[in-house]
Structure formats: structure tokens, C-alpha cells
A and B are shown apart, each in its own frame.
Chain A
Amino acid sequence: KAGVTQTPRYLIKTRGQQVTLSCSPISGHRSVSWYQQTPGQGLQFLFEYFSETQRNKGNFPGRFSGRQFSNSRSEMNVSTLELGDSALYLCASSLTVQETQYFGPGTRLLVL
């Protein structure tokens, strides 16, 4: 089975721009979660989707949004980028929230 894939792997943007990151979960997995990892804040939960519905959201501003499609693929969008948004964005998938989470390699975003 193919693992969780994330595209793009690396991204450079400037302040004020917007960005869309993509995550393809393991086949059959319906739960997709997104996390932001920074040296100062560690790994922080962004949101979780299950069957196209956002079920949980972390403490991030409204500039961070996401969605999940009928094939369970998920996208995350960040609008009006700030320098502090530079981070590794990780996506994880699981069969259900009680099952093992499998993480993708991440998208490293640099905001200049």
C-alpha cells in the first residue's frame, strides 16, 4: 500500500501571498489531520477531516482553512501569508481517529 503523500514537498512564498497544500491519504483511510511543526511551538494540531466534514479545529486564525474531497484527499489553504507561517506542514491519515496515524513526509513552507 502506498503511504501518505504530500505535495509539494518544498515551497517558497512571500508575505501576503496564499498557498495550497495537498495530502493524499493511504487508500481506505477516511480521517485526515493536519499539523504545523515549528522549532518554537513544536507540533500543533490544525484540523481533522472525516468523510468530507471538518470535525475538529485547533487554535489557528481563520487564514488557515482546509477541505476534504470525496476520495479522502485533503487540501489546506493559508491566505495572507506571514513570516511566522514558515513551518513544516504534516498530514496524517488513519482509518478512524482511534487507529494508528500515518504521517506523510510533510511540506516545508518558507515565507520571505
Chain B
Amino acid sequence: KQEVTQIPAALSVPEGENLVLNCSFTDSAIYNLQWFRQDPGKGLTSLLLIQSSQREQTSGRLNASLDKSSGRSTLYIAASQPGDSATYLCAVTRAGKSTFGDGTTLTVKP
């Protein structure tokens, strides 16, 4: 059974800091790994998708890496801004089923 763990559960940083969010999974037989952002009371917004054959993806200030052999992914956020405050979730997908971590709640203080 796939299990996804995200560390830390919560993170508070001052504006402008670079930060790393971690995601680990137990079964490396995945199709892809996706990072999402969720604002309170809202749905999920896709940030980055990494296919199982890829090592990283970048979008603007975001960079996500994937190491399937060790069952780990990281989401790097450069020059954080107060608007980045949200819960960040990672999900691994295999055979049409996605398993989510519990998320990291990020607060960026002005």
C-alpha cells in the first residue's frame, strides 16, 4: 500500500527566503508525482508534474525534483512571497489512483 509523507507539517518563514518542502513515498512504482497548492476552503491548483522518467521540473520560482529510487521529491520555492502562503500537497499516481500526503502548511510573513 502506497504511503506518502510530507515534512514538515507546517513552516513559517520571512518573506524573501528560499525554502524546501519534502515528500517521501514508499512504493517507487509510480507513473508520476504532482505538487499542488491548496488555499483555505478551495480546491487544488496543480503546480508541477514530474513523470516517472524525469528528474525535475521548473516553473518560475518553483523547482521540483524526483528521486524514484529513494522515494523522495522536493519542492524548492525561491524568494518566497506572502502570496505563497498556502498548503502544499504532493501526490503520487499509479494505475489511475493518486495517493496524497497530508501537506505542508506554509506561512510567509511580510
Contacts and interface: CB of A to CB of B under 8 A. Distances in A.
Interface of A: 31, 33, 35, 42-45, 48, 50, 55-56, 58, 90, 92, 97-106, 108
A90 to B, nearest CB: 6
14 contacts: A33-B96, A42-B101, A45-B98, A45-B99, A50-B96, A58-B97, A97-B95, A97-B96, A98-B31, A99-B49, A100-B34, A101-B93, A102-B46, A103-B44
B28 interface: no
Interface residues on chain B, size class: 20 to 34
Interface in B81-104: 89, 91, 93, 95-103
Contact of B43 (A44, A56, A90): A90
Contact of B49 (A31, A42, A58, A100): A100
Interface of B: 31-32, 34, 36, 41-46, 49, 51, 89, 91, 93, 95-103
A35 B100 CA distance: 10
Contact of A101 (B42, B46, B51): B46
A92 to B, nearest CB: 8
B46 A98 contact: no
A56 B97 contact: yes
A48 B97 contact: yes
Given A42-B103, A97-B31, A103 B97 contact: no
Contacts of B36: 103
B100 A43 contact: yes
